[in-house]
Amino acid sequence: MDTFQNKVVWITGASSGIGEAIAMAFAKEGAKLVLTARRKEELERVKTATGLPDSSVLILPFDVTEFDKAEGAAAEIIAKFQRIDIMVHNAGISQRSYIKDTDLDVYRKLMDVNFYSTVAITKAILPYMIKQQSGHFIVISSVAGKIGTIMRSGYNASKHALQGFYDSLRAESYNDNIKVTTICPGYIRTNISVNAINEKGGKFGKMDSNQEKGIAPEECARQILNAVKKDKKEIYIGGLKEVAAIYVKRFLPNLLFDQVRKNIPE
């Protein structure tokens, strides 16, 4: 894909962080945007910031865990733009709690937000992409989709699930010219740790020191769009330490496991 001009791009989690940065990056390249998150006022702010006219932006505020709304949302997009070219699965929530302390409902919430919501939306829009014989899924996974770490068991599990599901979708949809790019960010300077949930489902409310030192979401978005243009299947974004850990696990797994065990979160 050489250009995003007039491509219809649906972004979940578009009200802040990586999602907002992706929206701004696509807008600069002339795409038409569909913005989804829970907070309508924040979506309105992002819409205004893009500078796009009303004819090029559709705001669809809803909670992605309301799975029954996915089909209606997809139909509304088709009614306005007649197609969906790119789906950015970005909505997500992180976790900060030990397994022994964590309620089962917390794990359910993590899987609902990070995994099942993407499945529901994917199934809602896949028939349209098959009909138009084109489409591209951008799936925001994580380095945590490759490596299990302390106090993030449910988050890690949900991101591992994304990897497996969308690897399968990539293979199954190849003949329909539908593509998948999986993004594995490391530390990006967003509020993901502040908004993470604790063992009872409450808000963690603290900024991780590594997160605070992470790369800017705008740089993350730039690399994502570049990867899609090049039809990359999977990319890793972040500092040397977290990206290198993926390769260490592949070639020296025992070394990586020892390092993870000793890396107690601050």
Tell me if 250 is assigned to some domain: no
Residue range of the domain that includes 205: 8-240
Tell me if 2 is assigned to some domain: no
pTM: 0.94
Tell me if 127 is assigned to some domain: yes
Q: Which of 60, 63, 57, 70 is nearest to 26 (CA)?
A: 57
Tell me if 187 is assigned to some domain: yes
Q: Which of 265, 263, 218, 210 is nearest to 239 (CA)?
A: 210
CATH code of 17's domain = 3.40.50.720
Residue type, 151: M
CA angle 103, 106, 108 (to 5 degrees): 115
DSSP line for 98-140: -GGG--HHHHHHHHIIIIIHHHHHHHHHHHHHHHHT-EEEEEE
Mean pLDDT per block of 10 residues along the chain (266 residues) reads: 91 97 98 97 97 97 97 98 98 96 98 98 98 98 94 97 98 98 95 93 87 91 97 94 87 84 67
With beta carbons less than 8 A apart as the criterion, state whether 249 and 160 touch. no
Element (H, E) at 191: none
d(CA 62, CA 108): 19
**By three-state DSSP, how is residue 82 classified?**
coil
User: 70 vs 64, 65, 90, 183, 249, CA distance in Å?
Assistant: 8, 9, 15, 22, 36
Tell me if 264 is assigned to some domain: no
The active-site residue, picked from 98, 116, 128, 155, is 155
Residue 264: what pLDDT? 63
CB neighbourhood size of 40 (10 A): 14
DSSP strand pairing (86-89 vs 8-12): parallel
Residue type, 217: P
**What total of structural domains would you count in the chain?**
1
Tell me if 255 is assigned to some domain: no
Residue 70: what pLDDT? 98
Residue 102: what pLDDT? 98
Q: Which segments of 13-171 are extended strands (E)?
A: 32-36, 57-59, 86-89, 135-140
Residue 116 annotated in active site = no
Tell me phi and psi for residue 81, to 5 degrees.
-110, -10
Tell me if 263 is assigned to some domain: no
With beta carbons less than 8 A apart as the criterion, state whether 106 and 200 touch. yes
Tell me if 29 is assigned to some domain: yes
